[in-house]
Amino acid sequence: MEALLAKLRKIALNDQTPRLFLIGATAVLFLIVIIDAFGARERAVVSREAGGIARFTDDDSDVTVPSVYRVPRDFASESLREARLAAQEDSNGEGADLPAEDDVAEAEDAEDTDPDMEAEEVTAEAEAAEAEAVQEDVAETDAAEEEAAERDATETEVADTETTADEPAAETPATDDDLAILANADIANGETVWRQCRSCHVHDAEQNRGGPHLVNIIGREIAAADGWRYSSALQDSEGVWTVEALLAWLENPDAYIPGNQMAFRGLRDEQDRIDVLGFLNESTQ
């Protein structure tokens, strides 16, 4: 008998089948417990949403439920229950009005719909802010357009004023005395004398170079060429460039209008001065 028992013990030690069977059974049991726990939680949540869970009474407050089966707390129902108890204490048993079950249901519905209402309120506020921003942009655009229009009008008025101020006065035609002087001019010689002046002046186009253009110089106001910056001496001078004035100017510019900036010593020969003026008058005809 002892030999048989020793043989059985030896076989049990060497055979791993029972040990593996025990480990497998334990694992299966543990898996079943976990699955049942999660399934019970899901069933509890579904039952609560369907309204199938009975509400706890005051006598059931000491009942404990495992965490895996515990349903989220219904704060609305708890608040109403506390309000009911407080009303009962205040009325001293006189039967004060208590919130009905329908009120509890409405509170639960309100709690469930609060996120949607909050989302709608946020959306409405965002739309209102966006509309207000659009109105502000439109107002700013209108204000900018009005300001630009006013600025353009002001610039136009300033430009017109400057143009009026810069426009030379009406040119005075050559007088009979001027024509009588220029009648003796040698135009060919005047063109030759002009070569001393063409490096700074233009006589056939209103274009300023080293000096103001000389288009219609005879009869033009002094310091009246548009776009040329005259010296203070010429700006302070009044009058018109008559032939006699130009003859005196060409003879000695520094003596005729002291302080001018024209770098020219003058033409000493009177006939050369008459000839060059005749050439200028002839080129503008």
Query: What are the DSSP calls for 136-165, one per residue?
Result: HHHHHHHHHHHHHHHHHHHHHHHHHHHHHH
DSSP state of 221: B
Residues of the chain with pLDDT under 50: 52-63, 65, 67-69, 95-99, 158-170
Residue 125 has a pLDDT of: 72
CB 179: neighbour CB atoms within 10 A? 13
Residue 5 has a pLDDT of: 79
Residue 158 has a pLDDT of: 47
Digit-coded pLDDT (tens) for 18-57: 777 788 889 899 888 888 877 777 777 677 666 544 444 4
18 vs 25: CA distance, rounded Å: 11
Residue 168 has a pLDDT of: 44
255 vs 258: CA distance, rounded Å: 6
pTM of the model: 0.41
Structure token digits, residue 58: 């005051």
Residue 61 has a pLDDT of: 47
228 vs 221: CA distance, rounded Å: 14
Percentage of the residues of the chain whose pLDDT score is greater than 90: 31
Residue 54 has a pLDDT of: 46
- Domains defined along the chain, listed by start: 2-72 (no CATH), 176-283 (1.10.760.10)
269 vs 196: CA distance, rounded Å: 14
Contact 171, 216 (CB under 8 A): yes
188 vs 279: CA distance, rounded Å: 8
- Return the amino acid letter for 144: A
Residue 164 has a pLDDT of: 42
